[in-house]
Amino acid sequence: MTTPNKTPPGTDPEQLEKTGTVREIGSQAVWSLSSCKPGFGVDQLRDDNLETYWQSDGSQPHLVNIQFRRKTTVKTLYIYADYKSDESYTPSKISAKVGNNFHNLQEIRLGDKRDHVSKKKKRLMVS
């Protein structure tokens, strides 16, 4: 179901996209959130502006759902999180789950705040 990530750590996905190594596929998906405050939704989550972000407005768990219209292989998922700017609201753990529908999701990666933190927002890419 998953393949090892062959992208070297610290590699800039925008540079990889320019060379044709990866391509952005987030625009092919339907994005939804478990909750959000007005003005802090999917558009702010997906834009390239570091000053904008998603802010949940409900009880945990806080979820970002990404659904593709057809079966899609995702090899790399880039997530921007700036723990140093706001430790109290930035998630301490990030989980990625994959499957054919909501009933068969399996966790493939669990990250925490010690994982790499990017200097800019990243987009969903596939290599």
E strand segments, 1-127: 23-24, 29-33, 64-68, 93-98, 106-112, 125-126
Low-confidence ranges of the chain (pLDDT < 70): 1-11, 87, 109-127
CATH number of 13-126, picked from 3.30.450.20, 3.40.630.30, 2.60.120.260, 2.60.40.420? 2.60.120.260
Domain positions in the chain:
13-126
The string of pLDDT tens digits covering residues 14-44 is 787 788 887 888 899 999 999 999 999 999 9
Neighbours of 55 (CB within 10 A): 17
pLDDT value, residue 2 = 39
* Helices assigned H by DSSP within the chain: 13-18, 42-46
Residue partners of 11: CB distance under 8 A and separation at least 6: none
Q: Tokens 């999180």 map to which residue?
A: 81
pLDDT value, residue 5 = 45
